[in-house]
Amino acid sequence: MKMRELEERTGVDREVIRILIREGLVPEPERPARNRAEYGENHVAAIAAVRQLQQTSRLTLKEIKGALDGNGLAQAGPAVAYRQLEELLAMRLGMREARLIPLASLLEKFPKAEHDASAFARMGMLTLIDSEDGVMISFADARLVEIWGHVREVGFVEETGFPPENIAFYLEGADFIARNEAQLFLEMSAGRFAEDRAATMLHAVLPLMLDFVGLLRIKSFMKHIGIDGR
C-alpha cells in the first residue's frame, strides 16, 4: 500500500509515521524503486502498537524506543504494555519472536530473580531460553519476575510461608479466562470484522478487560476474607 492508504488505515498523519520510522519504532518500507515506498500489514500493526502504548500505557516515544533498545521501562507499565513491546520489537526486526533480555540483568534489583524464574518455569508460567549470553527471557516474562520481586519486598517470602509455588493456581485461572475470552471473540467476530479492525479492537479492549477482571478479583477476595467488597 502507499503512504496515503497507510494514513487512512491507521488514522496517523504521514509526518508522524515518518518520525516513527526514523526513530526505528516502525519498520522501513519496501522500496522497489528510488522514489517509491510500499507499506504492508506489519506497518499498520506496528503503528497501532505504538499508538496503543502511548494512549493506554502513557509511554512516550523516547520510553518506547528505550525499551526496544534493551533499556527497560523507567517505571513499570500495565501488563499489556510488555506484550505490545514484544510484538512491536518482533515487527521492527522482522522476526516472529521479539528480542530476549538476560535474566541476570534483573539480579541487581531482585537478588532472587533466578530462583523465582526457575520456579515459574517449572510451573509453566514462563520460558527460560539458554543462549551463548546466558539464560534469556522475554519482556513479559521479565515483568513476572519483577512483580514477584516486589511481592518479596513486602514480606511474602519462603520464611513466612509464601514461596513462588503457592501461586501455581494463577496459571490455571488465567488460562481459563483467556481461553474463554479467545473463544468468545473468535465466535462473535467471525465474518463480521476485517482482520485489521479485529486487531485494533483487541488492542483497545485488552487493557480495559485486565482492569475489569482485576476489580472483580478484588471484590471476590474481600468477600472471601470476610470484608464486604461492594
Q: In degrees, to the nearest 5, what angle opens at C-alpha 146 toward C-alphas 201 and 62? A: 60
What CATH code is assigned to 1-98?
A: 1.10.1660.10
All cell numbers assigned to 180: 474463554
d(CA 83, CA 140): 6
pTM above 0.75, yes or no: no
All cell numbers assigned to 63: 520510553
Q: Which residue has the cell 508460567?
A: 125
All cell numbers assigned to 204: 483497545
228 in the Ramachandran plot: left (φ > 0), alpha (ψ -120 to 50) or beta? beta
All cell numbers assigned to 157: 517470602
User: Who's near 94: CB < 8 A, 6+ residues apart?
Assistant: 27, 42
**Residue-level pLDDT, tens digit, the chain, 230 residues:** 899 999 999 899 999 999 988 888 888 888 888 788 999 887 888 888 888 777 766 778 888 777 766 555 555 555 556 666 666 656 654 544 446 778 998 898 899 999 999 999 999 999 999 988 899 988 778 888 988 999 999 999 999 999 999 999 999 999 999 899 889 888 888 778 776 677 777 767 777 788 898 899 999 999 998 876 55
Please report, for the chain, the start and end positions of each structural domain, with discontinuous segments joined by +: 1-98, 100-167, 169-230
- Residue-wise pLDDT tens digits, 45-79: 888 888 877 776 677 888 877 776 655 555 555 55
